[in-house]
Amino acid sequence: MADPAFTSAQPTGATGCLVLADGTVVWGMGFGAAGEAVGEVCFNTAMTGYQEILTDPSYAAQIVTFTFPHIGNVGANTEDVESAVEGAVGCIVREEITPSSNFRSTQQFAEWMAEICKIGISGVDTRALTRRIRLSGAPNAVIAHSPDGEFDLPALLERARSWPGLEGMDLAQRVSREKQQAWEGGSWTLGSGYGSAEGDKLPHVVAIDYGSKDNIFRNLVKAGARVTVVPAKATQDEVMALKPDGVFLSNGPGDPAATGVYAVPVIKALLDADVPLFGICLGHQMLALATGAKTTKMHQGHRGANHPVKRLDSGVVEITSMNHGFAVDGATLPDSVEETHVSLFDGSNCGISIKGKKAFGVQYHPEASPGPQDSFYLFERFVGMLS
């Protein structure tokens, strides 16, 4: 593989580029918002659900390479959005964006991208890029879109190089809600859209938002809970003042160790107070940190909608949606923690439960959206634990 700093000349008509920190420039056609953004380049192998992926706050400061070549076929709609806050900064796709074709589409994909300020590049050999990430890890890069085709490559390169990278970065603060919010939406059904939460006699879940996907809250509602969402930096007292029957620890972007600086003490205190806990992804990682385990940055991460996970109690395999670049190091789990799920790809930790407590977490995304719905049972399990 050639690796020339700026040796790849700008092809005629190129309006988008990806400048990697090592100087490699990948050219393409820009779409969506014009401008530039810096982040880590990752890839996602899901064939559906691009709108959900791009609005997942866990992708903050990331540029998503979609391995499936045709993205945008079904346009965009207002329902398939996982969060109103910042998600991925942009995406890279193989094929030009086509006009949408789907009865739910209300907008073209590229227009939607522009509207929510995300940059896209098409015309890239996304498989070559994916293989590069597999071989040498997720690079830092700047994605840029200039409709008139003018790029200041040295400046873009400098920006990519000077970006510190995700390791040690606390991004949860950036994407978390600033204020407490009573959650209202229920789960989605074809033909009638999202339902709404019922009554206030239900078990009360306080959800700490480190950059959560809305579908998690919808699933908690569907499982029979009343949900109040609080910001990432909510203190133990603030949480307890809401009289929770259980506390949910959400997914989110960045390094769990960095966010854990302020989040883990709160989680530890909640654990000590025997408050039932359920963590997903970043929330799972920080629950593990709270028990004394360690997290590590993965080489290429797991991102897709086809990842098999084994439940160690029953041997059942769940096909899961995943999106993580950090993982709990299974070898560091203390005796007080039981490993409940492992990845069938690489044996990495995918779930824990704390012995003697009503507290558990999973690394993957049981709320799906996008992805398989094999793991909805976890929401029922959690809500079922609450008195």
Report angle CA 370, 341, 356 to the nearest 5 degrees: 120
Residue number, 99 or 292, with CB nearest to other proteins: 99
Size of the site for other proteins (CB under 8 A): 70
Question: To the nearest whole angstrom, how small is the minimum distance from the Cβ of residue 365 to other proteins?
Answer: 12
Query: 125-156 burial, b for 16+ CB within 10 Å, e for fewer?
Result: ebeebbebbeeeebbbbbbbbbeebebebeeb
Candidates 276, 304, 325, 361: give the one binding other proteins (CB under 8 A).
304
33 to 62: interface string for other proteins, x by CB under 8 A = ----------x-xxxxx-xx----------
Q: Is 185 in the site for other proteins (CB under 8 A)?
A: no
In degrees and rounded to multiples of 5, residue 183 shows phi and psi of: -80, 140
**Cis amide leading into 370 (omega within 30):** yes
Say if residue 325 carries a ligand binding annotation: yes
Q: At what angle do helices 282-290 and 256-272 cross, to 10 degrees?
A: 60
The minimum distance between CB 238 and other proteins, in angstroms, equals 35
CB of 32 to other proteins, least distance (A): 19
Q: Which is nearer to other proteins, 65 or 251 (CB)?
A: 65
Instruction: Using CB atoms within 10 Å of the CB of residue 73, give its burial: 0 to 12 exposed, 13 to 18 middle, 19+ buried.
Output: middle
Q: Is 371 in the site for other proteins (CB under 8 A)?
A: yes
CB burial of 167-203 (b: ≥16 within 10 Å; e: otherwise) equals eebbbbbbbbbeeeeebebbbeeeeeeeeebeeeebb
Written as six digits, the tokens of 275 are 């408050």
Is 95 a binding residue for other proteins by CB under 8 A? The answer is: yes
Task: Name the 3-class secondary structure at 237.
Answer: helix
148 binds other proteins (CB under 8 A): no
Tokens of 28: 């393409």
The distance of closest approach from Cβ of residue 28 to other proteins in the complex, given in angstroms and rounded to an integer, is: 8
Cα–Cα distance for residue pair 18/28, rounded to 1 Å: 8
Active site residue 281: yes
Residue 365 among the catalytic residues: yes
Stretch that binds other proteins, among 1-9, 136-144, 206-214, 263-271 (CB under 8 A): 1-9
Give the contact letters, 103-122, x = binds to other proteins (CB under 8 A), - = no: xx------------------
302 assigned to active site: no
* Given the residues 145, 281, 318, 324, the one annotated as active site: 281
Q: Is residue 132 at the binding interface for other proteins, with CB under 8 A as the rule?
A: yes
Q: Is 156 annotated as a binding residue?
A: no
> Residue 331 interacts with other proteins (CB under 8 A)?
no
Find the distance separating the first CA and the last CA of the chain, reported in whole Å: 59
Compute the Cα dihedral for 26, 30, 32, 34 and give only its sign.
positive
Annotated catalytic residues are 281, 365, 367
Positions touching other proteins (CB under 8 A) are 1-4, 7-8, 11-12, 24, 26, 28, 43, 45-49, 51-52, 67-70, 73-74, 77, 79-80, 94-95, 98-104, 123-132, 134, 188, 190-191, 300, 304-308, 310, 315-317, 319, 344-345, 368-373
